[in-house]
Amino acid sequence: MLIIQSYATAVILLIITMLCWGSWANTQKLATQKWPFQLFYWDYTLGIVLLSLVFGLTIGSSGELGRGFWEDLQQAEGSSLRSAFIGGIVFNLANLLLVAAIDIAGMAVAFPVGIGLALVLGVIVNYVAVPVGNPWMLFGGVLLITVAIVLDAMAYRQKEQGKSVSNEGLWLSIIAGVLMGFFFRFVAASVATDFEYPQAGLMTPYTAVFVFAVGIFLSNFIWNTIFMYRPLKGERVTFSDYFSQGSTRLHLIGILGGVIWCVGMSFSMLASEQAGFAISYGLGQGATMVAAAWGVFVWREFAEAPSKTQRLIYAMFAFFVIGLALVIAARVV
Neighbours of 183 (CB within 10 A): 25
Give residue 164's pLDDT. 63
Secondary structure class of 114 (helix, strand, coil): helix
Mean pLDDT score, 282-308: 79
* Mean pLDDT for the chain overall: 89
Whole-angstrom distance, CA of residue 137 vs CA of residue 327: 6
Residue 309 has pLDDT above 80, yes or no: yes
Secondary structure class of 191 (helix, strand, coil): strand
Whole-angstrom distance, CA of residue 253 vs CA of residue 261: 13
Sign of the C-alpha dihedral computed for residues 220, 223, 224 and 225 taken in this order: positive
Residue 303 has pLDDT above 80, yes or no: no
Residue 3 has pLDDT above 90, yes or no: yes
Secondary structure class of 147 (helix, strand, coil): helix
pTM listed for this prediction: 0.91
Residue 208 has pLDDT above 90, yes or no: yes
User: CA separation (Å) from 43 to 98, 243, 253?
Assistant: 18, 12, 8
- In tens, the pLDDT along 125-168 reads 999 999 999 999 999 999 998 888 888 778 877 776 766 656 78
Give residue 29's pLDDT. 78
Cβ atoms of residues 282 and 142 within 8 Å: yes
User: Which residues does residue 280 pair with via DSSP β-bridges, in sequence order?
Assistant: none
Residue 176 has pLDDT above 80, yes or no: yes
User: CA separation (Å) from 273 to 9, 193, 243, 314?
Assistant: 11, 6, 42, 34
Give residue 109's pLDDT. 65
Residue 189 has pLDDT above 80, yes or no: yes
Axis-axis angle for helices 78-105, 107-129 (nearest 10)? 160
Helices and strands counted in the chain (H then E): 14, 0
Give residue 93's pLDDT. 96
Instruction: Read off the pLDDT band of 107 (50, 70, 90).
Output: low
pLDDT greater at residue 228 or residue 306: 228
- In tens, the pLDDT along 231-254 reads 988 889 999 999 998 899 999 999
- Residue 79 has φ and ψ, to the nearest 5°, of -65, -40
Whole-angstrom distance, CA of residue 67 vs CA of residue 206: 10
| Percent over 70 (pLDDT), the chain | 96
How far is C-alpha 234 from the geometric centre of its chain's CA atoms? 25
DSSP run (H or E) holding 268 = helix 248-275
Give residue 280's pLDDT. 93
Residue 333 has pLDDT above 70, yes or no: no
- In tens, the pLDDT along 48-57 reads 999 999 999 9
Length reported for the chain: 333
pLDDT greater at residue 87 or residue 111: 87
Cβ atoms of residues 126 and 185 within 8 Å: yes
Instruction: Read off the pLDDT band of 67 (50, 70, 90).
Output: very high
Q: 11-20, 66-75, 139-148: lowest mean pLDDT where?
A: 139-148
Cα pseudo-dihedral 19, 23, 24, 25, rounded to 10: 150
Residue 202 has pLDDT above 90, yes or no: yes
Secondary structure class of 130 (helix, strand, coil): coil
Give residue 178's pLDDT. 92
Give residue 188's pLDDT. 96
Cα pseudo-dihedral 323, 20, 114, 273, rounded to 10: -60
Residue 13 has pLDDT above 70, yes or no: yes
Residue 106 has pLDDT above 70, yes or no: no
User: CA separation (Å) from 165 to 24, 98, 157, 292, 306?
Assistant: 26, 15, 10, 20, 21
Whole-angstrom distance, CA of residue 212 vs CA of residue 236: 28
Instruction: Read off the pLDDT band of 199 (50, 70, 90).
Output: very high
How far is C-alpha 215 from the geometric centre of its chain's CA atoms? 15
Which residues, including other chains, have CB under 8 Å from residue 76's CB and lie 6 or more apart?
Answer: 190, 201, 202, 203, 207, 211
Residue 207 has pLDDT above 70, yes or no: yes
Whole-angstrom distance, CA of residue 103 vs CA of residue 229: 16
Cβ atoms of residues 48 and 261 within 8 Å: yes
Secondary structure class of 131 (helix, strand, coil): coil
